[in-house]
């Protein structure tokens, strides 16, 4: 019995990205200093204040009202404004993520990032508007149809910006390939969660309860996929995993909770989320104690 329990624990810990890899000496020392000197009020302020900019960026879209879709795109011109804003933010984040991952070998000035984001967003929305005029409004499966176009348009300015450096620096090519892996993981999220959500909304209450159990497994799979894709970034890996796989997974758990009329499905999702969060915090605390004790002994 004890051997089986140890095997199960070993299998679980092998899938937890919090327990994989190593932290640099500088990061461990900084953590130890922060634990000793951090003010509780400041810590709480950071925890509460950090999500506020993200919340504001998201709420701006909802300030632009939409009318009945049956009235067509002519009555919903603000839809195009919303899409332009959304694709501008997405492009800014995508290019910034790329330039952050390769910042030691490639540069991308902020002014050019903003310029290229506006151009890419304008071209993407132009293509979306053309598709709406051709197919109709609302456009079916908008995300799945438009994202590949947006992805292609976003790659073009980065290729123009870095083409010369990539030809002269093989190390830059290797680092860029690693960032492409990360982006493909982001891209995969778009093709996993929305179809999952669509299927979820078509199921009966009983089937939803069973189907909802796939969400933690999808999230676990994506966490490990992201962690392996950005392993070369070392200390930055946890942050990238959290702000990609974890946030996206939590968002669609919230969508499923909101769309399900069954209180039992909602309770199930909440209990699973709390349990997984507790296990992750336990793993993080375990890793922290191991890091600080290792630092103290050295």
Question: What does the pLDDT profile of the chain (298 residues) look like in tens digits?
Answer: 666 666 766 666 666 666 666 667 777 788 778 888 888 888 888 888 888 887 888 788 888 887 888 888 888 888 889 999 999 998 998 898 888 878 878 888 999 999 999 999 999 999 999 988 898 888 887 877 888 899 899 989 998 888 888 888 888 888 888 788 888 888 788 788 888 888 888 888 888 888 888 888 888 888 888 887 777 666 677 777 777 777 777 777 777 777 777 788 788 878 887 887 777 777 667 666 665 555 545 4
- Tokens representing 195 are 């179809």
Query: How many CB atoms lie under 10 A from the CB of residue 58?
Result: 12
- CA distance linking residue 95 with residue 239, whole number of Å: 17
Burial class (CB in 10 A: 0-12, 13-18, 19+), 193: buried
**Do the Cβ atoms of 28 and 294 come closer than 8 Å?**
yes
Q: What is the pTM of this model?
A: 0.70
93 closest CA partner among 196, 9, 183, 3:
183
Q: Is 243 exposed, middle or buried (0-12, 13-18, 19+ CB in 10 A)?
A: middle
What residues contact 4, with CB distance under 8 A and at least 6 apart?
Answer: none
């Amino acid at each position: 019995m004890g051997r089986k329990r140890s095997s199960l624990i070993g299998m679980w810990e092998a899938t937890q990205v919090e327990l994989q890899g190593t932290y640099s000496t500088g990061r461990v020392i900084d953590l130890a200093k922060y634990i000793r000197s951090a003010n509780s009020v400041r810590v709480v302020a950071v925890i509460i204040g950090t999500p506020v900019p993200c919340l504001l960026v998201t709420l701006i879209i909802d300030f632009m009202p939409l009318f009945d879709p049956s009235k067509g795109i002519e009555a919903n011109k603000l839809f195009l404004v919303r899409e332009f804003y959304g694709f501008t933010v997405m492009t800014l984040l995508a290019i910034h993520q790329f330039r952050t991952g390769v910042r030691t070998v490639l540069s991308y000035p902020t002014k050019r990032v903003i310029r290229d984001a506006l151009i890419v967003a304008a071209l993407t929305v132009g293509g979306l508007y053309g598709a709406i005029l051709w197919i109709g409004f609302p456009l079916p499966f908008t995300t799945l149809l438009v994202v590949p176009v947006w992805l292609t348009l976003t790659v073009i300015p980065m290729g123009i910006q870095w083409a010369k450096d990539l030809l002269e620096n093989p190390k830059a090519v290797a680092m860029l390939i690693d960032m492409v892996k990360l982006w493909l993981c982001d891209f995969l999220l778009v093709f996993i969660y929305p179809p999952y959500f669509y299927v979820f909304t078509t199921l009966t209450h009983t089937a939803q309860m069973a189907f909802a159990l796939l969400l933690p497994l999808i999230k676990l799979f994506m966490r490990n996929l992201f962690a392996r894709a950005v392993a070369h970034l070392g200390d930055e890996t946890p942050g990238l995993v959290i702000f990609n796989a974890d946030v996206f997974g939590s968002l669609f758990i919230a969508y499923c909770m909101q769309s399900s009329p069954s209180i039992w499905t909602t309770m199930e999702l909440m209990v699973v989320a709390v349990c997984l969060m507790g296990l992750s915090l336990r793993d993080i605390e375990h890793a922290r104690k191991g890091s600080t004790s290792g630092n103290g002994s050295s």
